[in-house]
Structure 1
C-alpha cells in the first residue's frame, strides 16, 4: 500500500469518482482510496454521477456497471466528453465478456469483478496502457463465481425463486438449497 500511496501523492490531480448503488461497498472503497491519497467523490446513481462529472470532471473513476437508473457506460461517455484523459475502471458483480468489451470500447482502462480489492483498483487506475495486468493474487474460486452469478440472476428476478430457476435452467429445489447455503470462499 505504501508504494501505491507514494505514486498517488505524486499525481497532479487525485480526484476519483466512485459510483455504486451498494452504499456499504461504495463507502468502504471510498475510504480505502482516500487512505491511499485520492480525493474521493461518491455517487449512488447514474444521474448523481453524471451531475458530478458535469460539475467537476474527475481524473479517475471507479464505476459500477449496472445500477437501477442506468449503467456505468453512460457515465464513461459523460467523462470522455468532459475529460478524455480520465482513467475509468468498471466494477461489476455480474461479469461477462460482452460487458467487458463494451466497457473497454467506451473508454474504460480495466474491468474488475466484485468484490475487488482496493489495491487492485488502484493498480488498474495507475497502470500504463502498455502494461499488462498481473493475475489476481486471490482469484475467486469457480464455486464462488457460480454462486455470485446465481445471486445476481436471483436479484435481477426480484428474488423470485421460480423465475430464477427457470432462467438458470435448474430445478427450483436445487436453487433453494444453493440459496440457503453460505457463500463459498
Structure 2
C-alpha cells in the first residue's frame, strides 16, 4: 500500500464517528449555482458530503478517493440520502473519463516531478466543463508545516491557476470568508477559490 494511502486509511479509521462534518463545503453551492447539471467528479471526496449534495441537485456523480474506509462511509451516507453516486477508490492520476464539473475541495493531491497530477486533473475536465479547486486561506506555510505538511508540495488554487493556458477561462480566483466558522486553532479564516472553464 502506498504511504499516502495508508496514512489516509489510518486517519479515517481512527475517527469512527466520521472525520468530517458531513456538511457540503460552503463554496460548492455558490460556484455551481449557475451550472446545468451534468457529469461531476468529486476529487478527494472523503466521506461523500459534496458528492451526495451534487447528486441531490441532479448531477451524475463520481466520488474519487484513495481511502476505502472513507468510501464505505460515503456509500452508506448516499444510501441514507436516497441518491446514486459511483464511488471509485483511486488517486487522480488513475481516474478516467471527462466531466462537466471537476471539483476538488482542500485537495491532498501531492505534486511530483513533471506534474502528472496536475495534467491528470486538467485532463478530466470536458470541453466547456468547469474546474473548481478550493484551498485554505490566507497562506500560512509556517502553520501548515507545524501540522506536518508543506502547502508547496500540493496542488492548490495558486499552483493550478498559472498552469491554465489559452484553452481555459478563469472565472473566479479569489479569497473569501469561510461560510462556516474556522475550526479552533486554525488561522485559515478564508477559502481560496479557483473556478475556470475549459473553452470549446
TM-score range, shorter chain: 0.3 to 0.5
Which has a greater percent of strand? 2
Q: Radius of gyration: which is bigger?
A: 1
For normalisation by structure 2, the TM-score amounts to 0.39
If asked which structure has higher relative contact order (CA below 8 Å, sep 6+), I would say: 2
